[in-house]
Amino acid sequence: MERDLSSGWLMFIGFRAAEDRILAALAEAGFDDLTRTQARLLAGIDLDGTRLVVLADRARLPKQTALALVNGIEKAGYVERVPDPSDGRARLIRLTPRGRSILPVAMAEEARIESDWRALLGTRRARALRAALWELALAADPQLRPPEARWPTGCPAATSFAPT
């Protein structure tokens, strides 16, 4: 019996393909010591640093697992722990210069992926897909705030989900 794949599973397949490409680009650029899970955790770090509990939540990982991952990427030189200026008792996980150096590589591959998907789907369908994905993401996480500049012209979501 053949089953129809759910929309969630189809999104995961697309995500996994994009993630594979980004990890391959990072490895080719010399960042071949990152696991998939470490890379996902790194992607959740804000430029000014992020608390461990927030990273764990973003990665949907138990705090203990996130701590072990942070220990590994800290040892590899991608992150450092610094005092949180808003709370002297807390620590932030912040990218080091080595950690920041992966950003242009990952972002360039993300741009190539978007371009490839736009070529496959066409501009109109790619914009509609992106708008639909933003609507789903915002329904799942109302704290997300997409920049207005990213909304395609005439996108209904641009008015209903514009940042406040």
Q: What is the largest distance, in Å, between two alpha-carbon atoms of the chain?
A: 59
Q: Give the rounded distance of the alpha carbon of 72 from its chain centre.
A: 19
Residue range 52-101, pLDDT digits in tens = 999 999 888 999 999 999 999 999 999 999 999 998 889 999 999 999 99
Q: Running DSSP on this structure, what letter comes out for residue 151? A: S
Q: What kind and span of H or E run contains 89? A: strand 87-95
Tokens in use for 28? 């080719």
- 5 or 148, greater pLDDT: 5
The tokens 């929309």 sit on which residue? 7
Q: How far is CA 83 from CA 41, 69, 86, in A?
A: 19, 19, 9
Q: What is the pTM of this model?
A: 0.82
Chain mean pLDDT for the chain:
88
